[in-house]
Structure 1
Amino acid sequence: MAAVHESVLDAIGGTPLVRLARLGAGIAAPIYAKVEFLNIGGSVKDRAALSMVLAAERDGLLKPGGTIIEATSGNTGIGLALVGRQRGYRVIAGVADKASAEKSDILRAYGAEVVLAPTAVPAEDPRHLFNVVQRLAEEIPGAWLANQYDNLANPDAHIRTTGPEIWAQTGGRVTHFVAGVGTGGTVTGTGSYLKEASGGAVTVVGADPEASTYGGGDGSPWYVESIGHYLHPDTVEDRQPQALRAEVIDSYERIPDRESLLTVRRLSREEGLLAGPSSGTAVAAALRVARRLGPDDLVVVVLPDSGRSYLSKVHSDAWMREWGFLEEGSTLRTLLDAAGPLVTVDADATVGEAVELLRDAPGGVAPVVLKRAARPYGVAAAEVAGSASREVLAAALAEGAAKPGDPLGALVGPALPTVGVGQSPDEARAVLGEAHGAVLVLVDGRVAGVLAREVLR
């Protein structure tokens, strides 16, 4: 018989475990998914939101008539809107501009006010999302900034609820726990409980985007929302969340974007679990872990949120092709392979350096990219700041408008349009229009090459 609750807040937690029998076929160790998108607000963040609000009330930080403010990729804001509106508070969610549009729509539906701000800028930039919400908290009387990254009530929610649930649901048989790492609350809280309950026997694995700094990446952008740690190349001080206890995590599985996104699409088609892209990262990691184990082991993996918030992204074939994650039947791939190696120009290059680089650039044009010491995963589309043209630079030098040692800055042109490797030449020509002479081709969201207009005819 289904439970009866006096409030939706009583329905937070108590989510089921579901065996991933199809994705785990042929693997000796069973894999069970903790289906956190069945929380009343649609994600694992409902747990942290309730815990943080109750703690703030208990500590006198949040008082009747107050305002809850938080920076969020969406899910924590939704949880805070659900909890906060139920308890009579105004809720303002600062949302990362790269978050799916569906999340902002859900926030507004719950009665939250949404403020969009970037995260792909240096941490010290006043436009950065965290700085925007900090200013709002200082300016609004009675405001409380939830600060999920440093709020210890975040991991405490999982010490008190998620960890005990998994231990009880598996009858203490869980041997490996896998979760994505964002604020660190879920993996830290749940992992620390399971380690303590098992006498240290449970292994905790962090699932991380390949480029995220948590697992050792370069911090460049990726395409899985809500997990990982991004590092803008101009950030002066990189801070780690206080909600994350690094010693709880035994190892990381670093998952490329394509593997994450294709795995979550398999999860919906083969297991009937319509989840968000960070679930794909976690399940891909869990599959890797389970393949190394035996039948006496048991893996539990967290599915943080629902795929209903990403219908316009990972669950859209058009979006996947546009960013180069699907390329079945691609004809651009043949053109890309024949185009030669990618030439890029750093944004802080001199005019002379750029001219030298452009000698080998297809069509005499190349993307201008943000400075990064090393790019082991290539140039993310978000790192393209503009374009450099051999024709424009040569004219500036010939006319005396620029000298070889001058900074390139003033001569940088607009960014070239992008097309995914899975799109057609017709689609590439359409994005070119009349204004551009070349197009950037994306593979897995990163610039793989430049195709000049004449190549696409």
Structure 2
Amino acid sequence: MWHNNILETVGNTPLVKLNKITKDIPATVLAKIETTNPGNSIKDRMALKMIADAEKSGLLKPGGTIIEGTSGNTGMGLAMAAIIKGYKCIFTTTDKQSKEKVDALRAFGAEVIVCPTNVDPEDARSYYSVSSRLVRETPNSWKPNQYDNLSNSQAHYEQTGPEIWEQTEGKITHLVAGVGTGGTISGTAKYLKEKNPAIQILGIDTYGSVFKKYKETGIFDKNEIYPYITEGIGEDFLPQNVDFSLIDHFEKVTDKDAALMTREITLKEGIFAGNSSGSAVAGTLQMKHLFKEGDVVVIIFPDHGSRYVGKMFNEDWLRERGFLADEKLTARSIIAKKEKQEIVTIDCEKTILEAINTIKSLNISQIPVTQKGMVIGKITESDILDALLDNPSLRSQPLKSIATAPFPFVDLNTGINKISSLINKENSAVLVEDDKGAIEIITQYDIINAISG
């Protein structure tokens, strides 16, 4: 038997028992693996439902343009459907989202506009506001508005809830899911609670989001809002798809715990899942006191790890944010092993001859070039030699006439592998600012010295 098109393969995702990572939880813990959807995420379900309902109501017309603010996964589902159904797509997203997500959307032919993360939703620059403006300016366009479009939660009421009920043979006692738009948890919860009102619905929130406090106090507290790294969950407003009456408890998980658990899921269970899955598992472990023997806990795994290879699955990215223990050499430890010496810089207005004299007197091969104390470039022995071979009279010219791009700056937590990759023919060193704000230089010799020391 075959499918008529890729859209017919959405849904019916597997339920897989977790073993090693949840060994301290007395209950049976199952993961709903939504990565097997064709767009590799649970958002395929609601993307199709929103489009189908918009077509029925006449909001989305043939040849129309779908315009939406998305963190990537909803966009993928919409873009996939648009290809089959003949629509165009324009998506706005935030600069917090992984490059892999943006590249994937563009691979499906969508236009993607990246907007700043750290602005209010009402700000004209926010990805919510930009998408709304584009709808007003684009003829025959439609904005799904996944946050307030109740077709989102309805998709999970019609599909995800029934699947989980059938797959657990009605034995599910707890549902754990990240809360972003709220569609997944609210739609699934509505179906499950109709089947058994005793089922506990546990929402995963992140620090920097308003959900948990609003559920517990009824207060929308703007002081709860601040930037965070975790993708796919949490919000700084209250989407209509979040039905707080269906969610029994919210558990907050830190960015660090979510990121590290994302990696652990792959290493311990062989499941390549995304950042919100890591957050959901970390939150489940934090709530282990709520579960007893005989309970059946289902955790939604919304998307695939391939969307995060440059982030949670990149050790340098983790180390730069202080999320990963310092097992390898870093810029900090390389500097600590260096002999203490003040870095030599030279002003861009100095002459090439002065640079030659400095290099000779100090027996060095390269110097960062500054302008008003700021590093703006570099000068090396080979730069000077090449310039003078072409024109010997250049010796009296200012350095800025031949200075090349500055050495790359790295963070103190940057690992040795990343530093080594940055040192090449064009860059014989990297720069790093220490804890006191002083600039240090790291050369290949310093790396060798640190390794051998």
TM range (shorter): 0.7 to 0.9
Cα distance change, pair 274–434 in 1 and its aligned pair in 2 (3 A): closer
Cα distance, 1:290 vs. partner?
3.7
Q: Match for residue 401 of structure 1?
A: none
* SS at structure 2 position matched to 1:215: helix
Q: Match for residue 93 of structure 1?
A: 91
Name the amino acid aligned to 1:203.
Answer: Q
Question: 8 Å contact 2:331–2:411 — kept in the other structure?
Answer: no
Question: 8 Å contact 1:325–1:422 — kept in the other structure?
Answer: no
Matched, 1:323 2:308: no
The correspondence for 2:14, drawn from 13, 16, 37, is 16
* SS at structure 1 position matched to 2:303: coil
CA shift digits 1:73-110 (9 cap, x unpaired): 10000110011221111111112222111111111221
* SS at structure 1 position matched to 2:245: helix
Q: Match for residue 377 of structure 2?
A: none
Within 1, Cα distance between the matches of 2:440 and 2:110? 49
CA shift digits 1:272-308 (9 cap, x unpaired): 1111111100111122334432122110001110010
Matched, 1:132 2:130: yes
Q: Match for residue 451 of structure 1?
A: 436
Name the amino acid aligned to 2:438.
Answer: R
Cα distance change, pair 201–453 in 1 and its aligned pair in 2 (3 A): same
Cα distance, 1:437 vs. partner?
9.3
Cα distance change, pair 161–454 in 1 and its aligned pair in 2 (3 A): closer
Q: Match for residue 37 of structure 1?
A: 35
Cα distance, 1:418 vs. partner?
7.2
> % of aligned pairs identical?
42
Of 297-306 and 321-330, more deviation after overlay is shown by: 321-330
Q: Structure 1 segments of 4 or more deviating over 6 A? A: 330-335, 433-437, 454-457
Within 2, Cα distance between the matches of 1:161 and 1:311? 30
Q: Specify every segment of 5 or more residues in structure 2 that has no aligned partner in the other structure, as ranges.
A: 214-222, 334-372, 374-408, 443-453
Name the amino acid aligned to 1:144.
Answer: W
Within 1, Cα distance between the matches of 2:412 and 2:210? 26
Q: Match for residue 226 of structure 1?
A: 232
Cα distance, 1:333 vs. partner?
11
The correspondence for 1:266, drawn from 258, 264, 267, is 264
Cα distance, 1:119 vs. partner?
2.8
Within 2, Cα distance between the matches of 1:228 and 1:134? 21
Name the amino acid aligned to 1:145.
Answer: K
* SS at structure 2 position matched to 1:178: strand
Question: 8 Å contact 2:331–2:412 — kept in the other structure?
Answer: no
Within 2, Cα distance between the matches of 1:24 and 1:327? 22
Cα distance, 1:124 vs. partner?
2.6
Cα distance, 1:123 vs. partner?
2.4
CA shift digits 1:238-285 (9 cap, x unpaired): x41111111111111111111111111010111111111111001111
Within 1, Cα distance between the matches of 2:11 and 2:24? 31
Question: 8 Å contact 1:152–1:242 — kept in the other structure?
Answer: yes
Cα distance, 1:420 vs. partner?
5.5
Question: 8 Å contact 1:209–1:254 — kept in the other structure?
Answer: yes
Question: 8 Å contact 1:12–1:46 — kept in the other structure?
Answer: yes
Name the amino acid aligned to 2:437.
Answer: A
Q: Match for residue 84 of structure 1?
A: 82
The correspondence for 1:204, drawn from 189, 194, 201, is 201
Q: Match for residue 55 of structure 2?
A: 57
Matched, 1:105 2:116: no
Question: 8 Å contact 1:19–1:32 — kept in the other structure?
Answer: yes
Q: Over aligned residues, Cα RMSD in angstroms?
A: 2.9
Question: 8 Å contact 1:179–1:187 — kept in the other structure?
Answer: yes
1:235-274 equivalences under 5 Å are 239-274=237-272
Cα distance, 1:18 vs. partner?
0.5
The correspondence for 2:189, drawn from 185, 188, 191, is 191
Within 2, Cα distance between the matches of 1:97 and 1:66? 27
Q: Match for residue 277 of structure 2?
A: 279
Question: 8 Å contact 1:177–1:205 — kept in the other structure?
Answer: yes
CA shift digits 1:433-456 (9 cap, x unpaired): 9999955xxxxxxxxxx4332799
Within 1, Cα distance between the matches of 2:311 and 2:332? 26
Within 2, Cα distance between the matches of 1:423 and 1:144? 46
Cα distance, 1:192 vs. partner?
1.4
Within 1, Cα distance between the matches of 2:429 and 2:198? 63
Question: 8 Å contact 2:431–2:440 — kept in the other structure?
Answer: no
Name the amino acid aligned to 2:212.
Answer: G
Within 2, Cα distance between the matches of 1:331 and 1:114? 38
Cα distance, 1:421 vs. partner?
4.1
Q: Work out the number of aligned pairs and report it.
A: 356
Q: Match for residue 289 of structure 1?
A: 287
Q: Match for residue 348 of structure 1?
A: none
Q: Match for residue 215 of structure 1?
A: 212
Within 1, Cα distance between the matches of 2:291 and 2:239? 31
Q: Specify every segment of 5 or more residues in structure 1 that has no aligned partner in the other structure, as ranges.
A: 231-238, 336-390, 392-416, 440-449
Name the amino acid aligned to 1:47.
Answer: R
Name the amino acid aligned to 2:299.
Answer: V
* SS at structure 2 position matched to 1:32: strand
Question: 8 Å contact 1:179–1:207 — kept in the other structure?
Answer: yes
Name the amino acid aligned to 1:220.
Answer: Y
1:378-389 equivalences under 5 Å are none
* SS at structure 2 position matched to 1:53: helix
Larger Rg: 2
Of 45-54 and 18-27, more deviation after overlay is shown by: 18-27
Cα distance, 1:159 vs. partner?
0.3
Q: Match for residue 411 of structure 1?
A: none
The correspondence for 1:419, drawn from 405, 411, 424, is 411
Matched, 1:48 2:43: no
1:290-309 equivalences under 5 Å are 290-309=288-307
Cα distance change, pair 288–88 in 1 and its aligned pair in 2 (3 A): same
Within 2, Cα distance between the matches of 1:4 and 1:291? 46
Within 1, Cα distance between the matches of 2:253 and 2:184? 18
CA shift digits 1:146-204 (9 cap, x unpaired): 10000000000000000000000000000000000100110111111111111x11100
Within 2, Cα distance between the matches of 1:436 and 1:169? 55
Within 1, Cα distance between the matches of 2:432 and 2:299? 47
Q: Match for residue 350 of structure 2?
A: none
Name the amino acid aligned to 1:205.
Answer: L
Cα distance change, pair 241–26 in 1 and its aligned pair in 2 (3 A): closer
